[in-house]
Structure 1
Amino acid sequence: MKQCFARTLVLASLLASTSAVAQDQTLEPVVDAANEINQAARSSQLTVDQIADTTQERLQQFKQINRQIEGLEVYVQQLQRQIDFQQQEKSELNTAIDEVSVVERQITPLMLRMIDSLETFVNLDVPFLPNERENRIINLKDLMDRADVDVSEKFRRVMEAYQIEADYGRSIEAYNGEMQVGGQLQDVEFLRIGRTVLIYKTRDGEAMGVWNQNQRQWQELDSGYRSSVQEALRIARKQLAPDLLMLPVFTPSSQAGE
């Protein structure tokens, strides 16, 4: 009886072992397939992650390019406005260029008349700085004959000469020069106060004279004015502060006054 039981157990064990081996052999393809599926899933997930990263990067690039396009559109619009404005200026310049010859023909005679008038004025004016003023007019006449100088520059120089002459009437000036005094050429100091007073004084102060515009000649000045003239010369040279002075003044209605 015992022997039959033992055989039964051995047989059962063999059957169980055989069944397990058969089961393992049956499940092995399934496990391998599952592993392949898992590996494919991991590979697919990596691919999806890479696609997602690439898509996000492309989206950022797209947004950046859109911002650049918007900026370029604004820039192009600004350039177009500038081009339109330049086209308008070009048209206006072309019109002005067409009129230059007409303007030049009109303004050149005007400048010549202005120079002649200025020369006449200087000749009739109080005779201060005669060489400087005469040379200025000579230079203007020479300038008008030059072909290498623009009309605009010629006009500017003429207007500058007029401005200088106008400024003389609002200034006080002391300068050195020479003139005939007592039949001799002497170094003198000139005092000019606007166009109202022109006085000379010799270096030693022994002789003084004032220009009489009514008679258009020099008139001897009394020695009593010596201190006032000396003080006025120092004021003109900015060596003293401006002050009230007693000096002779000629007016059209009188021979002399103070």
Structure 2
Amino acid sequence: MKKVLTPARGAVAAVIVAGLAMPVMAQGQLRQALDTGEEATRRAEQVQEQINQLDDQRSDMVSEFRTLLQRTQAAQLYARQQEKVVESQRRELESLEEQLGRVDEITAQTTPMLIDMISDLEAFVSADLPFKLVERRAGIDELRAAMENPQVPIVEQYRLIIEAYKREMEYGRTIQTWPEAINIDGNEVMVDMFLYGRVALVYVSPDRKYAARYDRASGDWVPVENKFKEDIAEAIKVAKGTTTPKVLYAPATRLSVSAQ
């Protein structure tokens, strides 16, 4: 730090020049004056140093104030942004609460519809060709059990019913074969069942001795002509994948539906 030539230093210098020609007594007084001037100079330097320190402290405080001001502004901006988020969440919560309030109403309207769908499916299976009845009726019993189970959500109940409808639709678009034991003339005979979609349901015994189709009108099995036995056997091979696909012939009757 540069030393400033204060008025005291100037006075001391002037006294020194003037004191060169003074007597001894005067020189003593001059020495005393010089000492006083030096003391004043040291005090002035101390005061200046304190002023410099205060100035540095002021600069530090200004810098700290600016930093705190920036942080305060950032915090205020963040707080305003969070207020918007909270308001958005509040509106969403109100919407969810409103939707939850309508759940009971929706359930009350949907449950009877689902029960009717199961009843319609049961009636359809009873009126359909009698294939895989044990399996299909067991599926309907499972649907009723799901409807009575409070642990099964209504959405899951609906999904299960739709899946059951899809399975029934698939029966009408595919051919299937499976072994089954049936009663023929009082004897249990193992035969190969074959389903032509929903066109016809037939069976043939492995030895070709027995072959019949299900008659919708009478609700009973009717023996088929011998010429159809080989056609049925060939269709079974196609369904099993043991021969190449080809045109299949089924001993079917015309389906008539009376006008209501």
User: What's the TM-score once normalised by structure 1's chain length?
Assistant: 0.65
Does residue 146 of the first structure (1) align with residue 129 of the second (2)?
A: no
Unaligned runs of 5+ in 1: 1-61
Aligned equivalents of 2:143 and 2:161: distance in 1?
7
- 1:7-46 superposed matches below 5 A: none
Aligned equivalents of 2:105 and 2:135: distance in 1?
34
2:170 counterpart letter in structure 1 = D
1:110 counterpart letter in structure 2 = M
Aligned equivalents of 1:253 and 1:209: distance in 2?
21
1:212 counterpart letter in structure 2 = D
1:17-71 CA distances to partner (integer Å, 9 max, x unpaired)? xxxxxxxxxxxxxxxxxxxxxxxxxxxxxxxxxxxxxxxxxxxxx9xx9xxx8xx
1:80: how far off?
8.3
| Match 1:122 to one of 121, 125, 135 | 125
| Match 1:233 to one of 227, 233, 236 | 236
Q: Is the 8 A contact 1:188 1:201 kept in 2?
A: yes
* Secondary structure of 1:199 counterpart: strand
Aligned equivalents of 1:80 and 1:236: distance in 2?
67
Aligned equivalents of 1:163 and 1:209: distance in 2?
28
1:88: how far off?
4.9
1:86: how far off?
5.2
Number of residues of Structure 1 aligned to a counterpart in Structure 2: 232
Aligned equivalents of 1:171 and 1:136: distance in 2?
19
Aligned equivalents of 1:249 and 1:237: distance in 2?
21
Unaligned runs of 5+ in 2: 1-66
User: What's the TM-score once normalised by structure 2's chain length?
Assistant: 0.64
Aligned alpha-carbon RMSD (Å): 4.8
Structure 1 window deviating more from structure 2 (172-181 vs 79-88): it is 79-88
1:215: how far off?
2.5
Does residue 95 of the first structure (1) align with residue 101 of the second (2)?
A: no
Aligned equivalents of 2:219 and 2:226: distance in 1?
22
Relative to structure 1, the CA distance from residue 153 to residue 81 in structure 2 (aligned partners, 3 Å threshold; closer, same or farther) is farther
1:136 paired residue number: 139
Does residue 158 of the first structure (1) align with residue 123 of the second (2)?
A: no
1:144-179 CA distances to partner (integer Å, 9 max, x unpaired)? 211221111112111211111112111111112121
* Secondary structure of 1:188 counterpart: strand
Relative to structure 1, the CA distance from residue 99 to residue 242 in structure 2 (aligned partners, 3 Å threshold; closer, same or farther) is same
* Secondary structure of 1:180 counterpart: strand
Relative to structure 1, the CA distance from residue 83 to residue 225 in structure 2 (aligned partners, 3 Å threshold; closer, same or farther) is farther
1:210 paired residue number: 213
Amino-acid identity (%): 26
1:115-159 CA distances to partner (integer Å, 9 max, x unpaired)? 111111111111111100110111111222112211111121112
Aligned equivalents of 1:232 and 1:171: distance in 2?
12
Aligned equivalents of 1:120 and 1:250: distance in 2?
22
| Match 2:251 to one of 238, 243, 248 | 248
1:86-126 CA distances to partner (integer Å, 9 max, x unpaired)? 55543332222111111111111111111111111111111
1:82: how far off?
7.3
* Secondary structure of 1:166 counterpart: helix
2:203 paired residue number: 200
Relative to structure 1, the CA distance from residue 101 to residue 180 in structure 2 (aligned partners, 3 Å threshold; closer, same or farther) is same
1:190 paired residue number: 193
Q: Is the 8 A contact 2:196 2:250 kept in 1?
A: no
Q: Is the 8 A contact 2:177 2:194 kept in 1?
A: yes
Aligned equivalents of 1:86 and 1:193: distance in 2?
58
Aligned equivalents of 1:235 and 1:80: distance in 2?
70
Aligned equivalents of 1:135 and 1:211: distance in 2?
22
